[in-house]
């Protein structure tokens, strides 16, 4: 656990917990002979499922959004090297991938026994895996923050928090208000109940998924952090601290999600950051 040092934090302390949430989400999803899941051409989730399949002897199928492009990019080439079978869905069908009709077609092709894992890996089993995260925090804390793409990590963290602690999720998508309903739905599916100890912040998406602005680009360059998820969360935490949103003395754990190979900085920059208008 590292501490993020920045004068903009004032009396708020932020600790960085490096955690591969993709593996955590998969932990209770691997009890199948054949596993099918969805993702874009650069999906970390596709890579993680392929790697888990190779490691545990599970047949994996990756349904990729759009058309095949050769040569494969590094992400898909890695998935294929792990033994994953790659197939493709046109974008119109991909938007309907959760429907009974599309999933029936997939089962007809890949077998009725295939387990279908949603894009991003967020389901009830994933929530149970992510709920174990708070129990592994080894510093005193008040708040746990995480980036939010599909809601599974936030749903699990919230469910696993001790009494009196709270969670904040930073949405990386534009127009992501629907994710509040997703977090609650996932908690109900996993535990037949919901928790009220979490909030979803929608103000730091910087234009949408994988979108950026000059302010975010400068932040990423200064702190050398992954830009699609982690930078948006950390920018948000620092900005909220500068605004006085956190009570002085609050101790925040920021979950730095991603595979262990994700490059990160030492987080000891001597100066603050230039605040922009994240939209």
273 within domain boundaries: no
Residue 150 has pLDDT above 50, yes or no: yes
Kindly report the length of the chain. 279
Q: What is the pLDDT of residue 278?
A: 35
| Same domain assignment for residues 78 and 11 | no
Q: What is the pLDDT of residue 219?
A: 94
| Choice between 208 and 265, residue whose per-residue pLDDT is larger | 208
| Same domain assignment for residues 223 and 127 | yes
Residue 148 has pLDDT above 70, yes or no: yes
| Same domain assignment for residues 134 and 63 | no
Share of the chain above pLDDT 90, in %: 86
| Same domain assignment for residues 151 and 169 | yes
| Same domain assignment for residues 14 and 143 | yes
| Same domain assignment for residues 180 and 240 | yes
277 within domain boundaries: no
Residue 276 has pLDDT above 50, yes or no: no
Query: Cβ(52)–Cβ(79) under 8 Å?
Result: no
Q: Find the catalytic residue in 43, 75, 122, 158.
A: 43
| Same domain assignment for residues 73 and 199 | no
| Same domain assignment for residues 220 and 127 | yes
268 within domain boundaries: no
| Same domain assignment for residues 248 and 141 | yes
> What Cα–Cα distance (Å) separates residue 97 from each residue in 29, 90, 149?
19, 10, 17
Q: What is the pLDDT of residue 274?
A: 36
Task: Give the end of a domain, one of 121, 136, 170.
Answer: 121
263 within domain boundaries: no
Query: Per the structure, how many domains does the chain have?
Result: 2
CATH of residue 145:
3.40.50.1100
| Same domain assignment for residues 62 and 37 | yes
Domain that holds residue 89: 30-121
Active site residue 43: yes
| Same domain assignment for residues 107 and 175 | no
């Amino acid at each position: 656990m590292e501490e993020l040092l920045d004068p903009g934090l004032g009396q708020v302390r932020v600790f960085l917990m490096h955690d591969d949430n993709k593996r955590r989400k998969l932990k209770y999803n691997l009890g199948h002979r054949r596993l099918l899941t969805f993702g874009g051409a650069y999906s970390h989730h596709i890579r993680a499922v392929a790697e888990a399949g190779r490691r545990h002897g599970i047949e994996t199928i990756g349904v990729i959004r759009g058309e095949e492009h050769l040569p494969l990019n590094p992400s898909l080439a890695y998935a294929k090297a792990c033994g994953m079978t790659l197939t493709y869905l046109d974008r119109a069908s991909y938007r309907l991938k959760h429907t009974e009709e599309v999933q029936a077609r997939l089962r007809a092709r890949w077998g009725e026994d295939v387990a279908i894992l949603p894009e991003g890996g967020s389901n009830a089993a994933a929530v149970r895996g992510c709920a174990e995260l708070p129990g592994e925090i080894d510093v005193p804390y008040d708040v746990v923050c995480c980036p939010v793409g599909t809601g599974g990590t936030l749903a699990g963290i919230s469910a696993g928090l001790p009494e009196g602690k709270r969670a904040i999720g930073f949405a990386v998508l534009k127009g992501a208000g629907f994710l509040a309903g997703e977090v609650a739905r996932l908690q109900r599916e996993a535990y037949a109940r919901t928790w009220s100890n979490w909030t979803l912040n929608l103000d730091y998406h910087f234009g949408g998924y994988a979108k950026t602005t000059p302010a975010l680009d400068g932040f990423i360059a200064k702190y050398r952090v992954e830009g699609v998820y982690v930078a948006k969360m950390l920018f948000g935490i620092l900005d909220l601290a500068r605004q006085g949103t956190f009570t002085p003395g609050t101790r925040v754990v920021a979950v730095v999600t991603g595979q262990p190979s994700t490059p990160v900085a030492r987080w000891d920059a001597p100066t603050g950051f230039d605040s922009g208008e994240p939209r």
